[in-house]
Structure 1
Amino acid sequence: MLPRPASYADHSTTPPDLEAPGAKTWITRGANLVIAVSDVTAGTVLARDEQPDEYMVFMAAGAATIQAGDESIVAAAETLTIVPPGASRVTAASDARVVRVFSPRAGDLAARACNAGVYADGAPECAPIVPWPTPPDGFRLRQYVPLAYEKPETNMRIFRSTNLMVNVMTRRDGPRDPTKLSPHSHDDFEQCSVVLEGDYVHHLRWPWTPDQTTWRDDEHVTIGAPSVTVIPAKVVHTSNNVGPKRSWLLDVFAPPRMDFSKKPGMVLNAADYPVPAEG
């Protein structure tokens, strides 16, 4: 089976996939995830009435109040909140840019994704989401401030839930050294990159098969903020920010990555979410 095409969603050049009073939302999906990026005005509510599993809310700009059940939490800019299953509301306290990360069980959003047709076959090349163990203290609102963690050895700030994993990269104030890129691929899961600031070039190389007529040319796609790029499984890829602008990127995976989770200290909220038993 040939890897499917990549999806590039540049929100600066395309209309929103969902528009309501006070909110414009761009939706992009992958095999196991749905990314909804919303530009909202103060007072706007982003509601989920019967969300069947956890989702994540990253405040790229502005602030909001997040409610779930009897709980409520203030979400300032640059915070990451994991929202439990059930009914929930994100109410903007100011004009804001809200990045929400769901599994495809948010079927209403998955169906509205700009690239929904790319996944009409169900993406059998990707391992399905099998929920990881429930947190010992149960499902509840959990909030983190990724950029407050001091980790001078890496620019990665990784968090997981039972179904998703987000890597909030630290900002780059200058272009990435082109002699120190990191081309790699993933056998059975995708990588989704959300550009929050600046401009990036995503470099993709599809594997060759014995049938030369199926070979794809390499892709080197420049894309700015805000945007979402979904990189298929098995495709060699790397990215670098370019130009003088400050740059900022989120990477999203689903299900959570076991390779990252096995490295001590790499997942910053590992104490909240146990890994599955092996065997």
Structure 2
Amino acid sequence: MYEKDDPRSSLATATTPRPDSGAAIAAPQYFDFHRLASPDAGTPDGRTAIVRGQNVVLVHTDARAGDDLDNGTLDGELAVVVTGDSPAFSVITDDGATLIDAPGLVVVPPGASRIGVHGDGLLIRLVEATEPAWRDRAANAGAYAEDHPRVALLQRWPEPPGGPAVRYYRLADVPDDPARFGRIFRTRSFMVNFLPEVTGPRDPHKLSPHTHDDFEQLSLAVRGEYVHHIRTPWLSDSTGWRDDDHVRLGSPSVAIIPPPTVHTSAAADPGVNQLIDIFSPPRTDFSAKPGWVLNADDYPMP
């Protein structure tokens, strides 16, 4: 599944797959945000696209200076994925304003909040899929009219010991380390892995096809292009068999990868490529690896 020098080769989940449940396997989903943006999705001129997985709603906004983005009054935390193409912005809560001006992850506590945008660029927000303000606004809401039986439902992880607060984790404070798999942060509901930027196409002789037992993966392309290779295993019901997918997407885009499909994604652009992987709930296997989750002290495991 993994090359020997891939940090994931030491994960327990890499060697101990669960017995198959026999439930139907959901279809992969692919979204190009430039084509999906809608005037009804949060910005009046069609600059916001909304998609969801079973447990998370992803809100992608092509923001402009002066935008005032209302997050609503949320029961759970909100996360903002900040990339090199994001503008500076302020997170505004009842406790005041927090300036965000560099790539990383921002966690906003439950309650009412807004985002005041100070420049032009892309903003990605994550909210729990049960939030009334967001759950029915996703372009693919119909795909989750019923829960997918193979995906574990979200149960929030423990509250941060420091209590509710806006927390800002800057990528610049944690350089890439080849002994770690990306730069991983978690909240009570989400795990976000900023994978390194890579230049040029991935070596086709060194892909890493693998499966997940019970969680979806949202692979968010923020730079370059990727080919998502996904194979749906054959079950006894042949009406659910699918041809292999080899779907090429530019950026910004997202592939929603259901369990237990076999999957791997290959950078394809001759320039710079970057993926950010999103999981909900947080992954236990990644969390169990010492040093992998960079804000583990703020967000303990169950």
Same fold (TM over 0.5): yes
Is 2:291 the partner of 1:268?
A: no
1:5 to 10, 22, 27: 27
C-alpha separation in 2, matches of 1:109 and 1:233: 24
Is 2:111 the partner of 1:111?
A: no
Given that residues 22 and 44 in structure 1 are in contact (C-alpha distance below 8 angstroms), is that contact kept between their aligned partners in structure 2? Answer: no
C-alpha separation in 2, matches of 1:4 and 1:135: 33
Is 2:121 the partner of 1:99?
A: no
Question: Any residues of structure 2 matched to 1:32-71 within 5 Å, and which?
Answer: 32-60=55-83, 61-71=86-96
Identical residues among aligned pairs (%): 42
- The equivalent of 2:36 in structure 1 is 14
Q: Which runs of 5+ in 1 are unaligned?
A: none
C-alpha separation in 2, matches of 1:32 and 1:100: 14
Question: Any residues of structure 2 matched to 1:1-279 within 5 Å, and which?
Answer: 1-16=23-38, 18-21=41-44, 24-60=47-83, 61-153=86-178, 154=180, 156-276=182-302
Deviates more, 1:39-48 or 1:260-269: 39-48
C-alpha separation in 2, matches of 1:178 and 1:44: 42
Q: Which runs of 5+ in 2 are unaligned?
A: 1-22
Given that residues 22 and 40 in structure 1 are in contact (C-alpha distance below 8 angstroms), is that contact kept between their aligned partners in structure 2? Answer: no
> How far is the alpha carbon of 1:265 from its aligned partner?
0.2
Deviations 1:167-196 (A, max 9, x none): 111211222222111111111110001111
- The equivalent of 2:3 in structure 1 is none
TM-score normalized with structure 2 length: 0.87
Given that residues 197 and 272 in structure 2 are in contact (C-alpha distance below 8 angstroms), is that contact kept between their aligned partners in structure 1? Answer: yes
C-alpha separation in 1, matches of 2:62 and 2:295: 28
> How far is the alpha carbon of 1:14 from its aligned partner?
3.2
- The 4+ residue runs of structure 1 with deviation greater than 4 A are none
The one-letter code matched in structure 2 to 1:163 is S
| 209 and 178 in structure 1: CA distance in 2 versus 1, 3 angstrom threshold | same
C-alpha separation in 1, matches of 2:90 and 2:45: 16
Given that residues 176 and 196 in structure 2 are in contact (C-alpha distance below 8 angstroms), is that contact kept between their aligned partners in structure 1? Answer: no
CA RMSD across the alignment: 1.6
The one-letter code matched in structure 2 to 1:63 is A
